[in-house]
Amino acid sequence: MLEIKHPIREIADASNVSLTPELLCSNSPIVLRGLINDWPLISAAKSSNQAAQDYLRDYYNQNKVRTFMAEAKHRGRFFYNDDLNGFNFTPNTTYFDKVLDDLATYEHLPAPPGLYMGSTALDHILPGFRKNNDLSLLVDNPLVSLWVGNQSRIAAHYDVTDNIACVAAGKRRFTLFPPNQLDNLYIGPLDFTPAGQPASLVDFSDPDLVKHPKFAEAMQHAQVAELEAGDAIFIPSMWWHHVEGLSCFNVLVNYWWRQVDIQIGAPMDALNHALLSIRDLPQAQRDAWRNIFEQYIFAPKDHSYIPEDRRGVLNPIDEQLARKLRASLVNKLNR
């Protein structure tokens, strides 16, 4: 593994009051040491894996969960197969109790298979858990998800949302890259992904700099932190993050939210539409559209010379205008 030179900025002895509006809107990652030390789950996890598992079982409502299993030879890397026409793991629908039972069994194996339960709506399977284990000052109606597994390696990817990831058991390593490192991370297919988001094809544990030479430049911009139970990390929207579960039993609770109102659309939809309508135009036309996007989207200009009631879609997007735009798009796409 290449040397990573830049640690992530940290706040020591963090608490809910550390989650200021400035932090939650930051454009840089921040490690929050001890942010969730007051959660009862943390006390259980620091006692033993069994105590943490028992604590989680107390809230489980028997709803089924989605898991992924990878053979031991993959050393916890949940990824594509060699031909990129499939994946190296097998999905399964099961019960959370069985996930915990299997993880307890695998703790004693010298080379266990990888078992991973990712991005499961926490309230869907552990109702009541958040009464005593939550970030009470985190606003904006976040989506709260639970991740449980043994040693795992999740390829570098971005999230459109801002994210606070809380390590509730075990230990994790986060390797982050700013959005401008996109070209140096060798991103795989946009529409066929291991977990929903486009992901880096580079194996961080053994990078092939002959096949991926620009990754050496990406590593010059990487930021890394290792988090213990009780710690958390703020990951800004669009930052690439590679996440490793380092322990035989890991639990992560994360909070996703956007800094815009609910009526604002998904940017990936705009990218897909641009692939359909702009990318294959002649170069001169693409350049013209680049200028138009700059004018109206990326560096919007002053349009006060147009009467406010005639600015239409140039006005701020409210719920009514969002519905109008969606209806127009649906009508045109269904031609």
pTM of the model: 0.93
Q: How far is CA 12 from the centre of its chain?
A: 23
DSSP per-residue string spanning 26-72: -SS-EEETTTTTTSHHHHHHHH-HHHHHHHHHTT----EEEEEEE-G
Q: Indicate the SS3 state at residue 127.
A: coil
pLDDT score at 6: 84
- Which DSSP category does 297 fall into? I
How many Cα atoms sit within 13 Å of 123 on the Cβ side? 7
User: 328: Cβ–Cβ under 8 A, 6 or more apart, which residues?
Assistant: none
At which residue do the structure tokens 């793991």 appear? Answer: 89
Mean pLDDT confidence for 39-56: 98
What number does CATH give the domain 6-257? 2.60.120.650
pLDDT score at 117: 97
Q: What is the mean pLDDT of the chain?
A: 94
CA dihedral 166, 25, 21, 300 (to 10 degrees): -160
pLDDT score at 262: 86
With 80 as the cut, is the pLDDT of residue 266 above it?
yes
**196-253: pLDDT as tens digits:** 899 999 999 999 999 999 999 999 999 999 999 999 999 999 999 999 999 999 999 9
pLDDT score at 136: 80
**133-153: pLDDT as tens digits:** 999 877 557 899 999 999 999
Every domain of the chain and the residues it spans: 6-257, 267-333
pLDDT score at 334: 84
pLDDT score at 172: 97
**77-123: pLDDT as tens digits:** 999 999 999 999 999 999 999 999 999 999 999 999 999 999 999 99
Contact, 234 vs 118, CB < 8 A? no
